[in-house]
Structure 1
Amino acid sequence: MTVPTGKRETVLETLEDRGIDYVVTDENSRREYTAVVYFPLPTPAVEAVLDELQEAGISEDAYTVVVDAQTVVSRRFESLREEYETGDVESDRISRQELETEAEALTPTFGVYVTMTIVSAIVATAGLLLDSPAVVVGSMVIAPLIGPALGASVGSVIDNEDLFRQSVRYQILGVVLAIAAAAVFAWMVRVTNIVPPGLEIGEVNEIAERLTPDLLSLAVALGAGVAGIVSLATGISVALVGVMIAAALIPPAAAAGIAIAWGEPSAAIGSTALVLVNVLSVNLAGLLTLWYAGYRPENLFSLRPTEARVRKRVVGLGLIVLVFAVFLGAITYSSFVISTFENDATDEIELVLEDEAFAEYTFLELEVETGQGYPFLSPERAIVTIGGPPDQRSPELESQLHERISAQTDEEITVEIRYIGQVER
């Protein structure tokens, strides 16, 4: 820390009062500074000591550089660490000043951010069309979304509105770019027949699960937000957490782009909603975690306005996330209805075939096809595969199966019976 003229004794007395060892060297390069002081601090003490020194007259015009020390060998330092470290989240966190620097450093320059977002969206689109989880994971690794996702929360709690606004702009830009890049790339792949012309996107597992998301997706986003902020606030590497945040955003954005390119905008509703709720959930979890960890504005006069602003943002985000949660809950319920129908229909088929009149027939498989009413799917067709004597059908069996299967749903459903000849040996 550079010590301004007239503040040398004040700074040194502050450090001595707290029992902090220091080394002072004279400074001759500039007239407004008289010395440079070096002093080791445990991580939890950095913010408190810097705040006290700023109150003593060390403004931000002076140079204060915080660096990580690999090892400090000193009995006095150990006693200082015991004084500040309590073993909870608040004592393990880095200082407010370091947090702000880390959040700003995580956001790349505009050109790099745009390029990496587009590239990650294209890679994710290729992975989804290939039905390759490995490629999809690769797209998450290169996505530069963690900085803006966490920067908005950091800017809110420390009263840095410039950081907040920049992070919000970057998040909006990232979502729009990802969906647009995925749509353009998927359209090019489709019109050039790189994928089979008759490809049904709902039949590709990696795509289908993002076209009809459920409530568990919300848990992923909230967990990513909490983990990201905890990693950032405790100085732990955020690289892996960045992959988790990208997992909540990039693949569903790519799925939305694919649905648009395939001319099925209704299919993009679920994945787009998933992207939006995940963005909001990451921000909500980040805000709550930072406030719980004890981060507050540097200026005490800004505390109440900041607290009111954070409260409004938390309530606003919470209400919007709740609305999306209801939407995801409805999608989850429609999936539950399909699963329940399949189980009930299977039970009814087995009961019918237990009749001695149908002893020569064997139940092989039930396939339930759904309609295209994304994201709220419903059973549309039931295909029952029966094993039996070659070239022999049973109208009575077909009638009972059709009646019992149709009774398991309120929707109009087509029941198709297929026979596979079985030769006894």
Structure 2
Amino acid sequence: MRLIQVLIPEGTRESVLTALDEQGVDYAVFDEVGRGDFEAMVQFPVPPSGVETVMDSLVDAGVKEGSYTIILPTETVVSERLSALIERFPGLRISREELYARAQDLAPANSTFFAFLILSTVIATTGLLLDSAATIIGAMVVAPLMGPAISASVGTILDDPKMTRRGVTLQVTGLLAAIATAAIMGFLLQQTILIPPDLDIRTIPQVVERTSPNFLSLFLALGSGLAGAISIMRGAGSALVGVAIAVALIPPAATSGLGLAFGLPGVAISAAILVLVNLLAINISALVLFYWSGFKPLEAGQFEGVRSNVFTRIVTIAIAIAVLSIVLGAVTWTTFQTESFEQQTKTAIQQDFDEANIEGVELVEVTVDYTPTDILLGNEPEVNILIGIPRNVEAPPDLAQRFDDQLTERFGRDVYVRVGFVEAQLSEEEPPSPPLGWPSIADGPFATRQGGYSPT
């Protein structure tokens, strides 16, 4: 519930009270003895969803911008007439006046914004290098990115170019500052003993997660933008939603900066693309939700022009996301291909060993070195097989080629296979009988060729 206080301009008292009567609002009127421009003050309660409707009727009745209007949240209203008022104004959406005020409050002063942004980037960069998800989440609590993201959309919907420009400027410059901060921090840390001199950040899981963006990353950003808009319209959980928005932007921005610091343009570019896609997705989701909720400019006559601007901006952002989504789609497809190949290869090799059932010989490990970049560059997947054999068994000299031929035939692509052997020992009361040779399995890598294989 909201308590609204409005100063009634001279000569409009009767029309203002008539408008309130038509809206079915209970009110109290007090004579104004202050400035001579006003003859009275009217005070009345109204549900949040009814503020905009009532204020529009008061504007039509003569309450102009020069008047004072105060909208106060109330904790408790005791009245038997309250239920009728709630039925008249159902819903939970706040008024555009409150939305505008909240958007202004969310965008902090420039000095405060950049101070918190740089600090959050420093913490996030530390979390990336430590591979600590908890540290990265802690950095998101500090990041102040929700305000600019929401204020840019609110400014567009309510036709406030100044608010829109400031929101967009803070987002763009803030993320560039985050990338620069991470790059400087990464360069300085390389000159110290705090990180190993041969550290490859591409092997850090938290970094890899931000350098292999796919469509799931887009869902995170869209959900964050929608959650931010809903939290502002409903006045609930905006601080926690701000964490979600920051998660979509600060870690990939810090990753991009580390890519620059370590001289890895691939890391820097892929993470920067993720930042840009997430930024656009957050803005378009908030913009669409505000527009769909029916918010209109403070000046009613500007609605048609604003609707055209909103539509143009939505289409522009959507096209940009679609273009960048080509990259996301390529990463998603190549990641699926590499992971599928890895799983199928391990399953096939394990199946061969299970069917062979060679006493004393065991499959120790299978690793597949195949990345999305390899697919794009046409590189062969590399399969590394480690086999444990007893000391008295001779390793087949061409087992790697046999696996190569089998995998090439099965998957229809060239592969590179490396087979390594280690001595395996089994603890038993009686040592196993030495195997007479590698068993024969039709069409498998263990198929006995002419002469077979015998232990030394």
Matched, 1:36 2:41: yes
Flag the 1:271–1:411 CA change in 2: closer, same or farther, 3 A.
farther
Equivalent residue, structure 1, for 2:189: 189
1:402 is aligned, of 404, 407, 429, to 404
Structure 1 distance, partners of 2:24, 2:357, is: 93
Alignment of 1:123-134 (within 5 A): 123-134=123-134
Question: Is residue 155–residue 162 contact of structure 2 (8 Å, CA) maintained in 1?
Answer: yes
Matched, 1:258 2:263: no
Flag the 1:240–1:105 CA change in 2: closer, same or farther, 3 A.
same
Structure 1 distance, partners of 2:360, 2:221, is: 52
Alignment of 1:5-404 (within 5 A): 5-85=10-90, 91-354=91-354, 356=356, 358-370=358-370, 373=373, 380-390=381-391, 392-404=394-406
AA at the equivalent of 2:382: R
How many angstroms does 1:365 deviate by? 1.9
Q: Output one character per residue of 1:359-400: Cα deviation in whole Å (capped at 9) or x when no partner.
A: 542223222234694996876432212222137422243332
Question: Is residue 267–residue 375 contact of structure 1 (8 Å, CA) maintained in 2?
Answer: no
AA at the equivalent of 1:256: S
Structure 2 distance, partners of 1:270, 1:375, is: 16
How many angstroms does 1:333 deviate by? 1.1
Question: Is residue 361–residue 424 contact of structure 2 (8 Å, CA) maintained in 1?
Answer: no
How many angstroms does 1:213 deviate by? 1.2
How many angstroms does 1:331 deviate by? 0.6
AA at the equivalent of 2:194: I
AA at the equivalent of 2:252: P
Residue 34 of structure 1 aligns to a residue whose secondary structure is strand
Flag the 1:357–1:246 CA change in 2: closer, same or farther, 3 A.
closer
Residue 73 of structure 2 aligns to a residue whose secondary structure is coil
Residue 395 of structure 1 aligns to a residue whose secondary structure is coil
AA at the equivalent of 1:220: L
AA at the equivalent of 1:240: L
How many angstroms does 1:310 deviate by? 0.8
AA at the equivalent of 2:44: F
Question: Is residue 374–residue 380 contact of structure 2 (8 Å, CA) maintained in 1?
Answer: no
Flag the 1:120–1:406 CA change in 2: closer, same or farther, 3 A.
farther
Flag the 1:203–1:80 CA change in 2: closer, same or farther, 3 A.
same
Residue 81 of structure 2 aligns to a residue whose secondary structure is helix
Residue 75 of structure 2 aligns to a residue whose secondary structure is coil
How many angstroms does 1:160 deviate by? 1.4
Give the CA RMSD over aligned residues.
2.1
Question: Is residue 212–residue 375 contact of structure 1 (8 Å, CA) maintained in 2?
Answer: no
AA at the equivalent of 1:52: S
Question: Is residue 266–residue 374 contact of structure 1 (8 Å, CA) maintained in 2?
Answer: no
How many angstroms does 1:135 deviate by? 0.5
How many angstroms does 1:352 deviate by? 3.1
AA at the equivalent of 1:384: I
Structure 2 distance, partners of 1:144, 1:110, is: 11
Structure 2 distance, partners of 1:173, 1:387, is: 57
AA at the equivalent of 1:259: G
Question: Is residue 341–residue 408 contact of structure 1 (8 Å, CA) maintained in 2?
Answer: no
Residue 45 of structure 2 aligns to a residue whose secondary structure is coil
How many angstroms does 1:407 deviate by? 5.1
AA at the equivalent of 2:396: S
Question: Is residue 94–residue 234 contact of structure 1 (8 Å, CA) maintained in 2?
Answer: yes
Q: Output one character per residue of 1:19-48: Cα deviation in whole Å (capped at 9) or x when no partner.
A: 211122222221212222211001110000
Question: Is residue 370–residue 381 contact of structure 2 (8 Å, CA) maintained in 1?
Answer: yes
Equivalent residue, structure 2, for 1:88: none
Residue 3 of structure 1 aligns to a residue whose secondary structure is strand
Aligned positions, number: 420
Indicate the larger mover: 19-28 or 167-176. 19-28
Q: Output one character per residue of 1:205-227: Cα deviation in whole Å (capped at 9) or x when no partner.
A: 11111011111000000001111
Structure 1 residue ranges without an equivalent (≥5): 86-90
Flag the 1:23–1:315 CA change in 2: closer, same or farther, 3 A.
same
Q: Percent of aligned pairs with the same residue?
A: 35
Greater relative contact order (CA < 8 Å, ≥ 6 in sequence) = 1
Determine which structure has more spread, i.e. the larger CA radius of gyration: 2
Q: Output one character per residue of 1:190-211: Cα deviation in whole Å (capped at 9) or x when no partner.
A: 1213111111111111111101
Flag the 1:226–1:356 CA change in 2: closer, same or farther, 3 A.
closer
